């Protein structure tokens, strides 16, 4: 699944865009200070999937969840191509591990795939799924996802509107998945 997500994400950036990338001047990101230490929660998104390996999975649910993630990524890729945004990289003057990690992230990531934030979509879809499987994990996972979402703005990887769009997409996709899951459970119990 990670390979497919990467192909969609980087592939959308490689495709010709329908219009020039734009900078959103009215977004609150311009009034929020840069805070390099937030690169740690930002990068922690890549650790979250490891939790799927330490839990028993309901394979049918996990398959439907995977399809949901792929559909949201495809939907996002279409938006990336049709409404590309640009957020200039933060000029970093400090010489610490956090700024080094931010600079490394800027060099690896593509500039233009902003709305909706895939970091936010993936963080919340993983948090919802892990919380669904393990109810005692629900709030810690949601708090972790929220911290990841906030971090995208503090390290200048996203506009605030990208975060809002990612959250709306994740909640909508999760709601659809839950309806399908409950319908599936009803048909199995007769």
Question: 79: closest CA among 188, 147, 155, 165?
Answer: 165
The predicted pLDDT at position 112 comes to 72
Q: How far is 59 from 69, CA to CA, in rounded Å?
A: 15
| pTM across the whole model | 0.90
The predicted pLDDT at position 13 comes to 62
* 36 vs 184: which has the higher pLDDT: 36
With beta carbons less than 8 A apart as the criterion, state whether 169 and 116 touch.
yes
Q: What is the mean pLDDT of the chain?
A: 87
């Amino acid at each position: 699944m990670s390979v497919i997500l990467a192909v969609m994400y980087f592939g959308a950036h490689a495709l010709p865009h329908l219009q020039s990338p734009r900078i959103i001047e009215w977004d609150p990101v311009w009034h929020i200070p840069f805070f390099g230490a937030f690169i740690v929660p930002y990068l922690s998104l890549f650790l979250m999937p490891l939790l799927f390996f330490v839990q028993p999975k309901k394979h049918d649910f996990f398959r439907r969840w995977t399809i949901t993630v792929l559909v949201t990524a495809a939907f996002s890729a279409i938006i990336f191509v049709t409404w590309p945004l640009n957020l200039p990289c933060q000029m970093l003057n400090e010489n610490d591990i956090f700024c080094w990690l931010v600079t490394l992230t800027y060099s690896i990531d593509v500039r233009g795939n902003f709305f909706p934030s895939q970091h936010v979509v993936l963080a919340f879809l993983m948090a919802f799924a892990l919380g669904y499987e393990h109810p005692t994990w629900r709030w810690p996972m949601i708090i972790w996802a929220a911290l990841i979402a906030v971090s995208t703005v503090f390290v200048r990887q996203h506009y605030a509107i990208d975060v809002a769009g990612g959250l709306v997409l994740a909640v909508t996709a999760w709601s659809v998945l839950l309806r399908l899951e409950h319908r599936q459970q009803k048909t199995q119990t007769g």
